[in-house]
Structure 1
């Protein structure tokens, strides 16, 4: 099956998730870097807008894992922050 979500689409999906969080009272955030290709998923990081624009470490998010965006169009999900994305995604592959 061909991928339906490319890197640009993954960024769009992640940006929409951040906007939804902000509309629901969350901290304003921005995407950080480009989506990383992890086989079946794109992984996209994010950080608080205040930290990225002002550099104030007290405004930085802590414990925020990146988004995993399936290339097949399945719903995105968040990864944890305690382990690298590739380890977490490998565990998901093993369970399938």
Structure 2
């Protein structure tokens, strides 16, 4: 899922990476999902939300995912990861920035 070293991941790349992550999860037996909105630029990361396909297509809240933190896709091409749901993405990423700079 990484891009070659030195490549900068743009919004379109981030979206493709997130789609690949959803596809990989579905192939492993996960719930079919779709991306929600466009990738948000959070400095060194793109943040991309997702939700179950069934909920997005039918609006049935019983089919909605709960606890599905968004993807964080580093702009430097390093490995993407999922964020948690207890705090907003920007708060989690600010804490990560702090840790990396200390």
- TM over 0.5, yes or no? yes
Shift of 1:3: 6.0
CA RMSD of aligned residues (A): 1.0
Number of residue equivalences: 95
1:14-73 CA deviation, whole Å, 9 max, x = no partner?
Answer: 000000000000000000000000000000000000000000000000010000000000
Runs of 4+ in structure 1 deviating by more than 6 angstroms, as ranges, are none
Question: Gaps (5+ residues) in structure 2?
Answer: 1-5
Q: TM-score, normalised by structure 1?
A: 0.97
The answer to which structure, 1 or 2, has the higher relative contact order (CA under 8 A, 6+ apart) is: 2
Q: Which runs of 5+ in 1 are unaligned?
A: none
Match of 1:35 among 32, 36, 39: 39
Matching residue of 1:50? 54
Aligned pair partner of 2:86 in 82, 85, 93: 82
Provide the TM-score with structure 2 as the length reference.
0.91
